[in-house]
């Protein structure tokens, strides 16, 4: 429920200030020489001061509270954004670890495996910027080329060139895992 607090504060401040101003005028009108020593003058000053105080006490605190609420909402949004970024980086790291395990298995057995996953990178690539984005994008491109070779292959056994390409890809994927791990540490709560 919304109150009319600012309206009442403004009205009370205006009444008190107007009353104080009238009393000051009357004090100045009654005395010719020492109107500032007249008690009515000081009652008028008190009325103006009271009007300003009422205005400040009733009108300003809601603005302070709303500023605090806006700041709290902004901080909460930043916190949620950092948590979402950490979660997205975790998904990318998990996917890269799966690619690394699959490459290790292919190198061990000398046979092609399934296609490599890239859904986490597709979904969360916008979370990584700058040089890290370039490095990760190149790793995923390298893995994609291995996928293309698997799709075009007529045999399941790896040739020497394919084995070497997979060794290089595994090294690149393992370094990318370390990179994502370092990025994720920045956003961990």
> How many Å apart are CA 158 and CA 153, to the nearest integer?
9
Give the tokens for residue 137: 């994008």
Same domain, residue pair 62 and 111: no
Same domain, residue pair 162 and 89: yes
pLDDT tens digits along 46-102 = 777 777 776 666 666 666 667 777 888 889 888 888 888 889 999 999 999 999 999
Q: pTM for this structure?
A: 0.63
**Closest by Cα among 142, 156, 152 to 110:** 156
Question: Helix or strand or coil: residue 159?
Answer: coil
- Give, for 129, the enclosing helix (H) or strand (E): none
> How many Å apart are CA 107 and CA 62, to the nearest integer?
67
Query: Which domain range does residue 52 map to?
Result: 5-74
Same domain, residue pair 89 and 28: no
Tell whether the model's pLDDT for residue 139 goes beyond 70. Answer: yes
Q: Residue 111's beta-bridge partner residues?
A: 157
Same domain, residue pair 155 and 123: yes
Same domain, residue pair 84 and 68: no
């Amino acid at each position: 429920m919304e109150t009319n607090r600012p309206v009442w504060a403004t009205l009370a401040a205006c009444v008190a200030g107007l009353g104080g101003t009238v009393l000051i005028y009357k004090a100045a009108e009654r005395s010719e020489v020492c109107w500032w020593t007249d008690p009515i003058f000081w009652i008028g000053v008190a009325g103006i001061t009271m009007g300003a105080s009422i205005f400040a006490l009733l009108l300003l605190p809601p603005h302070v509270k709303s500023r605090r609420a806006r700041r709290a909402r902004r901080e909460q949004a930043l916190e949620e954004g950092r948590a979402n970024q950490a979660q997205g980086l975790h998904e990318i790291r998990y996917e890269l670890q799966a690619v690394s395990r699959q490459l290790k298995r292919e190198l061990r057995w000398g046979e092609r495996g399934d296609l490599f996953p890239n859904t986490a990178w597709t979904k969360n690539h916008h979370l990584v910027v700058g040089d890290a984005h370039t490095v990760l994008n190149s790793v995923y491109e390298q893995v994609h080329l291995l996928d293309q070779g698997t799709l075009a292959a007529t045999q399941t056994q790896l040739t020497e060139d394919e084995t070497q390409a997979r060794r290089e890809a595994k090294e690149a994927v393992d370094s990318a895992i370390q990179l994502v791990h370092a990025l994720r540490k920045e956003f961990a709560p």
